[in-house]
């Protein structure tokens, strides 16, 4: 029996942003996930970087699972062409289901929603609710200020070096996904995996 597919939860903007590299990277990530047999778990939207990464994965024959609250479906931003679209009632249900279905997490450029999702799942890891790897894809230096600030929090004693080191940062989508995949496999093999 073949092992289950690696599932990656991707957080990213519902806008495409000012730099065309953000959209290019989202498409490249989607293609890479499909070509490596990685299931994409994401917020179910059809707009912004969310829609681009999903469409790119689908175009390559990938499996894409979206999770979206009914309120956003009602505003017609739900992607109707996915492998599966799960409609839930609240944002809390959305984030819980996305986390449960995923083996690792990756944040692309985005706004406050992306920040909130990244920091929440990072907090969950710190508190021991899961041991899944977390990545930050720093496209064209988008996250440079945040990375510098996180270093500042370590210097000021509010974030331990170990907690800081739990966030994998990279600039190349394929390389970073490979790191996350390796860490997820290692965590499961070591029986450290604790579902949320």
Q: How far apart are CA 106 and CA 126, in angstroms?
A: 16
State the pLDDT confidence band at 4, using cuts at 50, 70 and 90: low
Tell me the CATH number at 23: 3.40.50.450
Tell whether 24 is covered by a domain.
yes
Number of domains in the chain: 1
> How many separate helices (H) and strands (E) can be counted in the chain?
8, 7
Mean pLDDT of all residues in 120-138: 96
Domain residue limits at 52: 7-189
Would you say residue 141 has pLDDT above 90? yes
Beta bridge partners of 87: 68
Residue 1 lies in a domain: no
Averaged confidence pLDDT in the chain = 93
Domain assignment present for residue 196? The answer is no
Whole-number Å distance between alpha carbons of 116 and 129: 17
Asked whether residue 194 is domain-assigned, the answer is no
Q: Is residue 18 part of a domain?
A: yes
Residue 178, token pair as written in the block: 């490979």
Would 195 be classed as within a structural domain?
no
Q: pLDDT by residue (tens digit) across 15-55?
A: 999 999 999 999 999 999 999 999 999 999 999 999 999 99
Instruction: Spell 79-100 as b/e; 16+ CB within 10 A means b.
Output: beebeebbbbeebeebbebbbe
pLDDT at 3: 56
Q: Which two tokens stand for residue 25?
A: 């990277």
Question: What is the model's pLDDT at position 195?
Answer: 41
């Amino acid at each position: 029996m073949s092992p289950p597919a690696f599932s990656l939860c991707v957080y990213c903007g519902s806008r495409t942003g000012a730099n065309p590299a953000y959209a290019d990277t989202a498409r490249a990530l989607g293609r890479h996930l499909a070509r490596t047999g990685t299931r994409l778990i994401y917020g179910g939207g059809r707009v912004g970087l969310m829609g681009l990464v999903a469409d790119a994965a689908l175009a390559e024959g990938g499996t894409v699972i979206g999770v979206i609250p009914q309120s956003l479906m009602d505003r017609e931003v739900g992607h109707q062409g996915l492998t599966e679209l799960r409609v839930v009632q609240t944002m809390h249900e959305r984030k819980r289901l996305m986390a449960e279905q995923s083996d690792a997490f990756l944040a692309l450029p985005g706004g406050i929603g992306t920040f909130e999702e990244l920091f929440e799942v990072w907090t969950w890891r710190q508190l021991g609710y899961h041991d899944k790897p977390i990545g930050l894809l720093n496209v064209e230096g988008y996250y440079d200020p945040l990375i510098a600030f996180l270093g500042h929090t370590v210097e000021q004693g509010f974030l331990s070096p170990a907690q800081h080191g739990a966030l994998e940062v990279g600039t190349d989508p394929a390389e970073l996904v490979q790191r996350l995949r390796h860490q997820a496999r290692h965590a499961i093999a070591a029986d450290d995996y604790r579902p949320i």
